[in-house]
A and B are shown apart, each in its own frame.
Chain A
Amino acid sequence: MIKALHGLARAEQIAARRDEIVRDLKKETGRPVIGYLCCFAPPEIISAAGAIPYRITGRPGDTMAEADAYMEPYGCSYVRNILAQAVKGRLDFLDGLVISHSCDMIQRLYGIWTYYRPLPYSRLFNVPHQVSPWAQRFFKRELVFFQESLEQFTGATVTPEDLSRAVALSNRNRALIRELYRLRKENPPLIKGSEMLTLLLAGGVLPAEEFAKLLAETAAEVKNRTPAGPPAPRVLVWGSLLDDSTFYRLIEEAGGHVVADDTCIGFRVWEKDIPLRDDIYEGLKDHYFLNFQCPRTDRGPGVRRFDYILERAREYNADGVVGYIISFCDPHKFDYPDLRDFLRQSDLPVQLIDDNYSFTPAEAIKTRLQAFIELLK
């Protein structure tokens, strides 16, 4: 049925049935599925090693009581949600797992998950917090260790050429995603924020070539649209991980357009190409570590570290910024006061929504968003 659909309709079906899709893919190809969390361990290495990279997502609002036997109640509800999925057996199709040491909770999820629910392959991809020369060298070595561990698991040998090929494929997708983002500069934007996120979530389960087709047909579909309705306030969404389009839909229902984002299944990972250098690991290091904007990485004091957000807000003509932070998300919660003041000084109003990864009560969230959107008019 999905194959009969095109563009956004297909993306929606894929995003809604990600687990089913990856199970089929595994069956068709005979390749192992490696689930990954966070954006530091390059999925291109997983592909080059002959495995299927699968971006693990949670189920917002789902019960998390199953995690209680293994993990404390005070902690990131996203992490608890993911562990609950693993305990419930909903991720049993995974042959392996790679978790990057992005934040404390994700790092510690790794130990608990692999202790109580071991998988045939698992790896913690360690990531320094500084971007010093020695931290960069560490990251590069970590890339090599990661690749070696995958080679050992799949039996494949990954050459620099294999890796460059995988990177070139994902860069092609980056170009297509940038093209779609550019269509959001229109007023009103030609593609909604919720549609864009759905598309990216679908991409988290598709092989790069297949994702390229989906992006291309979506671009063709969207370009033919006629801008509908009067212009409405435009917002940039900043914050913790968003792996469900519900929050964007709430903004849209509140009368706003999500025109840009700074979240990790959004533009953070797709904005720039992975540099294809002679030393492919140097390019991966630059992309996934040096230039990857996550507040868990220390870029020193001062507000210059937020310049890119302001530049992006200006580029997309955002009227305001909505912050979305999952409860107990330390890196974002620490940055919030500094970022809020910085953006307000730049005449960009900010509205923070603190949520326990459930988007509830939806009406209360929507009311706050409506008030903010009114303010932006």
Chain B
Amino acid sequence: MARVAVDVVIKPEILDPQGKAIQAALARSGHAGVTEVRAGKHFELDVDGAVTDEELERLAGSILANPVIETWTVTRLADGEAR
């Protein structure tokens, strides 16, 4: 078994009103130095040895992320990392 992280973020050219609202809230609570926030999603998958990097890339780019509006990264985590 291996643990895999998939991080999904809205593309820079797509308006992210949620990120903007979070950035405004940070500025109001004294963190004026934070100039931009992009909100996204983090998935952790436990996968068996049969799941290849190509399959991970495929499932990330077709289901976990929508390539029209989002970018994604797939990272294999070391044992015991995260969660």
Say whether A and B bind each other: no
